[in-house]
Amino acid sequence: MTPLRTDLPPGAQLPPRPANAPAPGTVLPSHYVRCFACGDQSAHGLHLRVDADAGLALCATFEVTEHHQGAPGLAHGGLLSCALDEALGALGHLTRTSLVTGRLETDFLRPVPVGTVLHLSARVEGVLGRRVYASGEGRLNSPTGRVAVRARGLFVEVPMEHFVTHARAEDIQAIEQDPDLIRLREHQTIF
């Protein structure tokens, strides 16, 4: 099996922003209230705030709290990867597709202390078939702060049925009883 790659392959193109994509400056909704990265019902989650930007780009922020530590006083590297994975995957709001991570490569450039607000940026680099190639970075305490972490990812477009097929039955039942657990209104009809 050929390993998945995150570098832009020949033939990949940057598509135009769909007319029905959220306007720049729009706060993008959490896809699921219990999502560890963006959900507001995950007690110790990242609670990413994600905003649409121009083109096929977005920006996001999260505050590193004591619950996000790896080493004493520093963010856990896995959580920084999680934050970038969520930001890159949220580009599906702008491409109007449902995306899952195929591969994520993360480079850690400097420590991220507890109390830091990490400013993330993410952008689509190109699309080839169902594959979306994206990159992003996290900066310390401002959109122009020092770069602490970078990532490149390959995301794969999947139909919404993918999530129903692979979810636990009790989670599907909870969504059927409370459709507001899913925040993407255009996708609720499948549950």
pLDDT in tens, 88-140: 999 999 999 999 999 999 999 999 999 999 999 999 999 999 999 999 999 99
Q: Longest C-alpha distance within the chain, in Å?
A: 46
3-state secondary structure of 43: coil
Answer with the residue of higher pLDDT: 168 or 19.
19
Per-residue confidence (pLDDT) for residue 33, from 0 to 100: 87
Prediction pTM value = 0.89
Q: Name the DSSP class of 182.
A: B
For residues 156 and 14, give the distance between their C-alpha atoms in angstroms, rounded to a whole number.
15
Report the distance separating Cα 140 and Cα 116, nearest Å: 7
Q: How far apart are CA 108 and CA 83, in angstroms?
A: 13
Residue 184 has pLDDT above 60, yes or no: no
**Three-class secondary structure of residue 139 per DSSP:** strand
Residues facing 188 on adjacent strands: none
Residue with tokens 């636990």: 168
What is the pLDDT averaged over residues 144-165?
A: 90
SS3 80: helix
Rounded to 5 degrees, φ, ψ at 57 are -140, 160
